[in-house]
Chain A
Amino acid sequence: MISISLTVNGKAVSAEVHEHTLLVELLREQLELTGTHVGCDTSQCGCCVVHVNGRSVKSCTFLAASAHGAQITTIEGLASDNKLHPMQEAFHLHHGLQCGFCTPGVVMSAVDLVNRNQNPSEAEIREWLEGNICRCTGYHNIVKAVKAAAATTRGK
């Protein structure tokens, strides 16, 4: 077992993990943050996306031990003071989800995009979200939601 300490959604966390424990397993099973999902075996679907030190990464393909000392943000860490994050608000208003299984990962990916680019085009949004697979929505409303959230972030 390896002892690690890290920050998750602003809170200091200490954990004992196996060498082979994946970050998604630490988050879901030990920390009971089950908003992050596991959707595939192959690192393709993006249901597991979280932020590590500000970058969106696939937590299913990240060893928990490698997260020692890191700052992690999960979907649970986006809202603050009982208010939804602008990205969450936009997905709600623009119906950017149906079953919701891929949604936390899509939202976390999209937040990283808008952090880097406050005015992404539709093409840029679709390209950025290539690592997130959605079976329900056809992506149409997802793109609308991300565009709207970016506009809110720009102050429009």
Chain B
Amino acid sequence: MTLLPAMKLRLNAPDDLIDLNFIDELRGIEPFEDHLEIGAMTLHDVVAESKVVHEKIPALSVLASGIGDAQVRNRGTIGGSISNNDPAADYPAAVLGLNATITTTKRDISGDDFFTGMFDTLLEPGELLKSVQFPIPERAGYVKFPNPASRYAIAGVMVSQTGNQVRVAVTGAGPVAFRVTEMEQALADDFSPRAIEPIHLSSENLNEDMHATAEYRAHLVNVMARRATAAALSSEQD
């Protein structure tokens, strides 16, 4: 979960906190010809309501507008979500699923390398996430099965295609967001929900908790991936 809720439950007890809210340069959505750059302190609500995001990467609009609830979206930021790397956060699926690049105060990091484990990223002490670059895909879809109270992803899948590159990225189901290469290959041959219907994840290494068993999560990944593929197909018709 995010920082303050974790602190309230004494799961996280930092000695010092620095509030970045007063640094305006970390905010904003800038469109480039082939990608969108989103500043780390940009609110989920701002991404969800952004016309340029809706036009260029509608799956990202859908993802942002489904994070938590309205009040969470009025406070949570993309930089906070990605740096925290909660196993059920939505944005890590977008980073992997859209092949994003993370820009920090020290370097650029490929999204494929950034998430190293549960709540763990490549960020070093003193390194600050400044912005995220999302390449604009030809088509993409994000669908999640939310926990009914917290709305965290029990399983959320981002599917995207650009040229012959397909990405299928899953959050919520495992300890850290991951890609499903078997589904990516199947969709590269035939970009349709039918193509991935027979592909089932093993429940080994998936999360098991009071919200869902590992087997159920494995099942949900297949269902959400098919729905995300359908969403990507229908987003083209808009």
Contact = CB atoms under 8 A, between A and B. Distances in A.
Nearest to A130: B69
Interface stretch (B2-10, B115-123, B129-137, B229-237): B2-10
A43 interface: yes
Interface stretch (A27-35, A54-62, A73-81, A142-150): A54-62
Interface string B41-83: 0000100000000000000000000001111101100000000
Interface string A60-96: 1111011000000000000000000000000000000
Contacts of A131: 68-72
A43 B5 contact: yes
Given A61-B8, A65-B19, A46 B71 contact: yes
Interface residues of B, number: 20
B205 interface: no
B151 interface: yes
A57 B17 contact: no
Choose among A20, A49, A61, A129 the residue with the greatest number of B CB atoms under 10 Å from its CB. Answer: A61
Contact of A61 (B4, B17, B19, B21): B4
A3 B70 CA distance: 30
B149 interface: yes
Nearest to B7: A20
Interface residues of A, number: 27
Nearest to A70: B21
B70 A61 contact: no
Interface string A38-52: 000111101001000
A67 to B, nearest CB: 10
Determine the main DSSP class of A at the interface with B: mixed
Given A128-B70, A131-B68, A131-B71, A61 B151 contact: no
A61 B69 contact: no
Which of B19, B45, B69, B72 counts the most A-chain CB atoms under 10 A from its CB?
Answer: B69
A55 B74 contact: yes
Contacts of A43: 4-5, 8, 72
B150 interface: yes
A57 B45 CA distance: 12
Contacts of A16: none
B4 A63 contact: yes
Given A42-B9, A62-B75, A63-B17, 20 more contacts: A19-B17, A41-B8, A41-B9, A42-B5, A55-B74, A56-B70, A57-B75, A58-B72, A58-B75, A61-B75, A63-B19, A66-B19, A109-B70, A113-B70, A128-B70, A130-B70, A130-B151, A131-B71, A132-B69, A133-B149
5 contacts: A43-B4, A57-B74, A61-B5, A65-B19, A130-B151
